[in-house]
Amino acid sequence: MAGAGPRIVATFVRQGFSEQNGAMLRWVLYWLAKFLAVILLALLGPVRVVGRRNVPRRGGLLVLSNHISDADPVAVGHALPRTACFMAKSELFSVPVFAGLIRALGAFPVRRWAPDRAAIRRALELLKAGEAVVMFPEGQLSEDGKLQAILPGAALIIKKAGVPAVCCGLVGTNKIMPFRKLFPRPAFGGVRARFGEPRRFDRADSHEAILGWIESELRRLTGQ
């Protein structure tokens, strides 16, 4: 009996969560991971969070962040004042153990470079259920830290979900995990996560207007 608890947790890590019996365990694991991230980023960063009060604490919310480092999901999760589900590249879900862990924390896969209806459907389900969903709308890491083109899927999700969106500008996370490096390193300051004001769009707004807002917000929040 003494080993039953760890075995249950291990099963969830391998298989991910069902909506019926995994919500509480996911919440516990998420905040445990967040606690560890706080310690890790305090040692490697530290990460200064600006505008956290702009983030709605309840209800569906789409969080859009620039992507300059493999440390970005950890930094955004650390900066957010609520739990969130991350849209992550599908390649990560082929890695044993790690795939189960990120599924257990609420992440779901998205295929890059092609419309992924399953990922969009999952994001809409979560948003309409009142969850926060984090996506990196550039679709890939930036080698030089400069903002890349925003993919159209972000505008589609915003229009269909009918929930507010907020942008998070990351600066300096590529000091912690430089492009194509496998291990983190101390950044010695200069790392920041900055949230803008939330904004709600409706179906009458064009994709171009939404994509333009995302780009301008991320440029403003990152100082580009």
Hey, what domains does the chain have and what are their CATH numbers?
A: 4-222 (3.40.1130.10)
CA distance 209 to 215: 10
- Enter the tokens of residue 201: 């769009």
CA distance 22 to 224: 41
Alpha-helical (H) ranges within 147-206 are 153-161, 173-176
In this prediction, residue 26 carries a pLDDT of 82
49 DSSP β-pair partners:
193
pLDDT tens digit at each of 224 positions of the chain: 445 445 545 554 555 444 545 677 788 889 999 999 999 999 998 999 999 999 999 999 999 999 999 999 999 999 999 999 999 998 999 998 899 899 988 999 999 877 789 999 999 999 999 999 999 999 999 999 999 999 999 999 999 999 999 999 999 999 999 998 888 999 999 999 999 999 999 888 999 999 999 999 999 999 99
In this prediction, residue 22 carries a pLDDT of 63
Based on its alpha-carbon atoms, the radius of gyration of the chain, rounded to whole angstroms, reads: 17
Among 5, 134, 138, which Cα is nearest to 73's?
Answer: 134
CA distance 64 to 197: 12
In this prediction, residue 131 carries a pLDDT of 96
Buried b (16+ CB within 10 A) or exposed e, 28-47: ebbeebeeebeebbeebbbb
Q: In percent, how much of the chain has pLDDT > 90?
A: 75
In this prediction, residue 74 carries a pLDDT of 96
Q: Cβ atoms within 10 A of the Cβ of 203, count?
A: 7
In this prediction, residue 23 carries a pLDDT of 74
In this prediction, residue 112 carries a pLDDT of 81
CA distance 76 to 64: 10
